[in-house]
Amino acid sequence: MIKLLMTYSSSEGLEKLLSHPEFKVDVHPKPSPEKFAEIITPYDGLLIRSEVKVTKEIMDAAKNLKLVVRAGTGVDNIDKAYATQKGIVVMNVPGGNTISACEQAITLLLSLARNTPQAHASVKSGKWEKEKFIGSELQGKTLGLIGMGRIGKEVAVRMKAFDGL
């Protein structure tokens, strides 16, 4: 039996792992560093996101740790040099959140073009000033993207639907 510790509560995309008979997955969302060092001892692997830090102290407390998987891009919250020294494999899932980040970028762009944050604040304060928050259409505008990595490319593809961008 392989014991995994997951430090976040979303199980999206993990159905096969969670139901696999050779894996036992325990969930402890966002443990404090003290709690993390206390519970890590018996686990063979970690599934983490960006909030949890896997430090030298955590790895020293982890007697069986062989693998740390970061659900998302980047591994800057893991002491990679120390993990390598201890023979612990560090992995990530590049592109795992590309579409989410792309959609968030487009959501923010649309919110700003339509003055949504300002209109929301106005309505919450009991006013109805719709003429003040008309906003502007994106059709015919030029979109400037800095970087055409995974997220930038996905934004470009989706923004083509706005005719003229």
How high is the mean pLDDT in each 10-residue block of the chain (165 residues)?
A: 89 83 92 94 94 95 95 91 97 86 95 94 93 90 91 94 77
Alpha-carbon span 105 to 47, nearest angstrom:
26
Domain count for the chain: 2
pLDDT of residue 165: 62
pLDDT of residue 108: 96
Q: Which residues on neighbouring strands pair with residue 46, listed in sequence order?
A: 5, 68
* Same structural domain, 19 and 60: yes
Q: What is the CATH number of the domain that holds 60?
A: 3.40.50.720
pLDDT of residue 164: 63
For residue 16, give the H/E element and its range: helix 15-19
pLDDT of residue 113: 94
> Which conformational region is residue 164 in: left (phi greater than 0), alpha (psi within -120 to 50 degrees), or beta?
left
pLDDT of residue 54: 96
Among the candidates 43, 68, 92, a domain finishes at 92
- HSE at residue 143, side-chain half, CA atoms within 13 A, is 24
Domain that holds residue 18: 2-92
The pTM of the full predicted model, rounded to 2 decimals, is 0.68
Q: Tokens 């509560």 sit at which residue?
A: 9
Spacing of C-alpha 85 from chain mean position: 27
* Structure-block tokens of residue 108: 């923010």
Among the candidates 54, 77, 92, a domain finishes at 92
Q: Cα Rg for the chain, rounded, in angstroms?
A: 22
